[in-house]
């Protein structure tokens, strides 16, 4: 009997599992194996992107799992080349072909790319696809409050904003901007890059108190705030561990102590446009 992650209701009506399998930076073969084992463990949400170059691997992993299409929530993202209404449709069709699907559950603008300033058109393209039922939900990734404000002023509210978020990079202003508009925050690299904070007393003490690992404590901190998280793991045992976070709750003081780990350090990703 596998335990499924609870779902988060998106503003457009779709129910998104709170924990996703992140697939960056895995190749197609690694991704197929990771997706197959994750779905066997109880994951029902897979996160990929055109940039990751592994959408075909996601398709193969889902095929091997034997699960029906409607039981797997697929998130993917498109690149700056497609930032126009017609471009988004072309990106959608290409991703569908690679993923072996007719619809995408959540389609994201991967980066705002303010230098070319076409992200509002990109979100308009997503709105058309959603209206036609080709995608179930639309969202953005790496959008800051200024980017969100312009999109919302244009009359479209994203349902999800996927951002770099971990205990050392809590991005309170961006999280607040998301919350104010009913936008769900999804954390990529939710365990950090290198995860030095996993040995911090705030996390280690909570792990001892709850009989969980530091990684489980960190993922619980994410979802207990109402956020989603997409940890990457190709290891079946680690995948099961990451999913095993829904049978306990952190105390308010434990939550606050973990949030207080924010160092104000710069985000990793500002120059990392071709990864996350």
Question: Do 229 and 187 contact (CB within 8 A), yes or no?
Answer: yes
Q: 222 near 165, Cβ under 8 Å? A: yes
Task: Find the angle CA(153)-CA(156)-CA(161) to the nearest 5 degrees.
Answer: 100
- The DSSP code sequence of 33-90 is HHHHHHHHHT--EEE--GGGT-HHHHHHHHHHHT--GGGSEEEEEE-GGG-SHHHHHH
Q: Could you give the CA distance from residue 265 to residue 142 in angstroms, rounded to a whole number?
A: 17
Catalytic residue numbers, as ranges:
52
- CA dist list (Å): 272 to 48, 51, 231: 16, 12, 18
Rounded CA gap, 142 and 79, in Å?
12
CA distance 48 to 160: 15
Helical (H) or strand (E) element with 15: strand 15-17
- 3-class DSSP state for residue 271? helix
């Amino acid at each position: 009997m596998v335990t499924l992650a609870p779902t988060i209701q998106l503003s457009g009506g779709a129910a998104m599992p709170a924990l996703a399998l992140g697939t960056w930076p895995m190749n197609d073969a690694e991704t197929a194996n990771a997706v197959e084992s994750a779905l066997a463990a109880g994951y029902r949400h897979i996160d990929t992107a055109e940039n990751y170059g592994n959408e075909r691997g996601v398709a193969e992993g889902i095929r091997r799992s034997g699960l029906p299409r409607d039981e797997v929530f697929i998130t993917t993202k498109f690149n700056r080349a497609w930032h126009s209404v017609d471009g988004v449709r072309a990106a959608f069709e290409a991703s569908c072909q690679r993923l072996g699907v007719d619809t995408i559950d959540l389609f994201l603008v991967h980066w705002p790319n303010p230098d070319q300033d076409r992200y509002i058109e990109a979100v308009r393209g997503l709105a058309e696809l959603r209206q036609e039922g080709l995608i179930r939900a639309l969202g953005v990734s790496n959008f800051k409050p200024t980017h969100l404000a312009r999109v919302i002023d244009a009359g479209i509210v994203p349902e999800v904003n996927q951002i770099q978020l971990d205990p050392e990079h809590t991005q309170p202003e961006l999280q607040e901007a998301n919350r104010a508009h009913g936008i769900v925050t999804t954390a990529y690299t939710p365990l950090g890059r290198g995860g030095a904070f996993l040995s911090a007393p705030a996390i280690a003490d909570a792990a001892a108190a709850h009989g969980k690992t530091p990684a489980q404590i960190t993922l619980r901190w994410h979802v207990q705030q109402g956020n989603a998280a997409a940890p990457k793991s190709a290891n079946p045992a680690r995948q099961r561990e990451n999913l095993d976070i829904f049978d306990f709750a952190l105390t308010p003081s434990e939550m606050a102590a973990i949030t207080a780990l924010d160092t104000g350090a710069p985000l990793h990703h500002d120059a990392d446009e071709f990864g996350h």
